[in-house]
Amino acid sequence: MGLDLGIQYTALYQRASEGNGPREGSGGDLDILGAWHLIGSKEKGNEGIDAFRGEWRHKYTNIPPAQLRNSIGSLWSTTDGFNVQDFTMKEVWWEQHLFADRFIVRGGKVSMESYLDVYRYQSASTGFSNFAFSNRPTIAIPGQGLGIIAGYFPRKDMYVGAEVADANGRKKSSGLNTIKEDEYFSAAEVGITPRIPGLGKGKYHVSVWHIDARKKRALSSGDGFSVNLLQEIGNGLVPFIRYGYANKGSVALRHLLTFGLGIEKPLGRTSDLMGMAFAWSQAQNKALPKQSVFEVFYRLQLTPNTR
C-alpha cells in the first residue's frame, strides 16, 4: 500500500543537586508517525507523500523535566520537549519530490525545525539532551503552524533551503485561525555536505531568519543567524562547532557558542554513540549572568529497537 507507520516512546529522568524548587523531573514522550507514498516513485525522485506526526507527553514526578529549569534558574531548558501535553496531531503535510530529488517542497501544518539549522546529534531522544545542544535557543522558531519548506539541491553535496510559516503557529491548533493575523517567520539556509578524502563526511551551513512582531501577544520582531561546522576526521570522531546570534524576537539568548565531539561506534559497538559538548551564552538582557553548560552522554543499543 506504500504506507509506513511508526511508534516511538522515550522516557527521561533528570535531577538537580541544588535548586529553589522541585529538584527532580521525569516524564515520557510518545510519538506516532506515518507516511503514505501516494504518487510517483522513490527511485525516480518524483514521489508525493502525505505524512503526519502525532505526540503525547506526560510526567511521572511532580514536574516534568522541561520545568526543572525554573528550579535552577537556567536561561534555557535542561532538555528539549518532555513537558505535559495531551495527544495532538502536531504536523500534517504533503511532501513533493521533483526532478530526481533535486527539488523538494513540504507544505501544510509543518515544523520549521525539520530543515532549519539541523546537525547530526540534534535529538533529545538519540543525541544530546540539554536544550543548548538539542535545539536552537537563538532562533525564534514558532510552534507548528501553516507553512512551506522548500529545498533545492544543485549538486549532491550542496543545498539551498527556504521556509515561510505562520509566526503564531501553535501545536494544538490547525493554524487556520492564526494565519489570518498576517505575521510570519521566514528563514533561509545554504550548506555543503562534502566527503573529504582521508577524513569523511562533513556538513557546513549558514542560516538566517526573521520573525514579524506578534501584536496580539505583544512580542517584538527579530532576526538572527547561525553557523554550523561539522566534520568527520576518522576513527569515528566527529567534532563540531555551532554559533547562533539573535537580535530580539522574544528570544532569551543573544549569543550561543557550542562545540563538542561525537564518538561513533565506541568500543567497536556499531549502534552505540558517545558525545561531549560545551556551550557558552549571553542573554539579551545583559544584566543577567552569562551561562554555560557541559554535557557528556553514552547511548547504548540494548536491542534492535531499544536504546
* Whole-number pLDDT of residue 91: 96
pLDDT tier for residue 253 given thresholds of 50, 70 and 90:
very high
Length of the chain: 307
Q: Is the pLDDT of residue 307 over 80?
A: no
* Whole-number pLDDT of residue 260: 97
Cβ count within 10 A of residue 119: 18
Phi and psi at residue 120, to the nearest 5°: -60, -35
pLDDT tier for residue 303 given thresholds of 50, 70 and 90:
confident
Q: Which residues pair with 105 in a beta bridge?
A: 96, 150
Distance CA 181, CA 32 (A): 31
DSSP, collapsed to helix, strand or coil, labels residue 268 as: helix
Predicted TM-score (pTM) of this structure: 0.92
* Whole-number pLDDT of residue 31: 96
- Average pLDDT value over all residues in the chain: 94
For 80-92, the pLDDT digits (tens) are: 999 999 999 999 9
Amino acid (one-letter) located at 30:
L
For 171-186, the pLDDT digits (tens) are: 988 888 899 999 999 9
Measuring CA to CA, how many Å separate 71 from each of 16, 23, 188, 219? 8, 7, 36, 25
pLDDT tier for residue 305 given thresholds of 50, 70 and 90:
confident
What is the widest separation between alpha-carbon atoms in the chain?
58
Pairing of strands 85-98, 103-110: antiparallel
Question: For 223-250, what is the mean pLDDT?
Answer: 95
Within 8 A by CB and 6+ apart from 203, the residues are: 119, 120, 191, 192, 193, 228, 230, 231
